[in-house]
Amino acid sequence: MSQRLTDVVVAADNLTQTVQDKIGNIDATVAAKSAEVDVSIAQSKVSIDNFIVGARGEASHILLSKNQRMEPLGTTGIKHFNTIGLSSIEVIKEATLHGNPSHDVDHTGNGVAADFRANVYGGYVNGYFNILRIKWTRNNRAHPARIDDNWYRGYQQGSMTTACYLKLITGDVEGAMRPVVNYQNDWSLYGTQSKVTSTVSQFHGAHTKLGLSKSTETSGEALICLFGTASGYIDLEKVGWGIYPEFARPSDIPATGV
């Protein structure tokens, strides 16, 4: 009897060891397969990322708004901007930046061009643009005070990106645009992006991209440049914001001989 019990114990020990060996083999197999899956997922992610980058790179970004260079309309407006909701606005051309920083023009002596170059971007730019100082007071109506109320024109819907560089001095702003990149000395890149959510139904863009003052009958002051909307998704965090080409529209071409 004692011998038989001993044999049973030995057999049980052997079976336990066999089971442990099998478990070890299974664990090793699972670990190996898990590593293969991780590698496959990582490779797929790289492929998808490369595809997205390539697809975006193949899609040109065309300006959908007007006057991205921000030429002022006297001292009370910005050319082609349909600014609404204000009881007053003052526009001052502070600086004009050119391709070469040595050609920048400081119109007021306030050092705004140097401020922008030192804190936002000091390199080459593909064309001139203005930095404006705007001082505003919102009226007493509840409707948002939009710096450019242009959504209804039909060029502001679908896959697009709206952005500008803004230095808020006093007051506040509202709307779909939010600080995307913050720079030194209170400069920020504000932006918003939208996409086509359906190929068979309507889609809409934000009506209030940048609203001046959150509350009625309040005032503010800011430096602003390169406000505009371009087609497609622009990765603002990676590539920033620049000057985009604009196609002439029929309304821009005067009719002759009619």
In this structure, are 148 and 97 located in the same domain?
Answer: yes
Average pLDDT of the segment spanning 211-221: 97
> Global pTM?
0.75
Instruction: Pick the most confident of 56-65, 128-137, 143-152, 247-256.
Output: 128-137
What pLDDT does 258 receive?
Answer: 38
In this structure, are 222 and 126 located in the same domain?
Answer: yes
The Cβ of residue 206 has, within 10 Å, a number of other Cβ atoms equal to 17
What pLDDT does 165 receive?
Answer: 98
In this structure, are 34 and 98 located in the same domain?
Answer: no
Range of the domain at 95: 86-248
**DSSP result, 33-44:** HHHHHHHHHHHH
What pLDDT does 249 receive?
Answer: 60
Residue 47, SS3? helix
The rounded mean pLDDT for the chain is: 84
Please tell me the distance from the alpha carbon of residue 145 to that of residue 220, in angstroms, as a whole number: 12
In this structure, are 37 and 92 located in the same domain?
Answer: no
Q: Provide the number of structural domains found in the chain.
A: 2
In this structure, are 138 and 21 located in the same domain?
Answer: no
The helix or strand, by DSSP H or E, that contains position 188, with its residue range, turns out to be: strand 187-194
Tokens of 24: 């070890």
Average pLDDT of the segment spanning 218-246: 91
How would residue 216 be classed by pLDDT, with cut points 50, 70 and 90?
Answer: very high
In this structure, are 44 and 129 located in the same domain?
Answer: no
Q: Is residue 11 part of a domain?
A: yes
Check whether 154 has a pLDDT greater than 80: no
Check whether 124 has a pLDDT greater than 80: yes
In this structure, are 43 and 169 located in the same domain?
Answer: no
Q: Is residue 70 part of a domain?
A: no
In this structure, are 33 and 149 located in the same domain?
Answer: no
What pLDDT does 6 receive?
Answer: 64
Query: What is the per-residue burial (b if ≥16 Cβ within 10 Å, else e) of 10-43?
Result: eeeeeeeeeeeeeeeeeeeeeeeeeeeeeeeeee
Sequence-ordered list of residues with C-beta below 8 angstroms from that of 95, at least 6 positions apart, any chain: 104, 105, 106, 107, 108, 112, 113, 116, 130, 131
Q: Is residue 74 part of a domain?
A: no
Check whether 19 has a pLDDT greater than 70: no
What pLDDT does 257 receive?
Answer: 44
- Residue-wise pLDDT tens digits, 41-100: 877 777 776 666 565 555 678 888 889 999 999 999 999 999 999 999 999 999 999 988
In this structure, are 187 and 124 located in the same domain?
Answer: yes
In this structure, are 206 and 244 located in the same domain?
Answer: yes
Q: Is residue 123 part of a domain?
A: yes
- Of all residues in the chain, the percent with pLDDT exceeding 90 is 52
Q: Is residue 110 part of a domain?
A: yes
In this structure, are 199 and 236 located in the same domain?
Answer: yes
In this structure, are 29 and 105 located in the same domain?
Answer: no
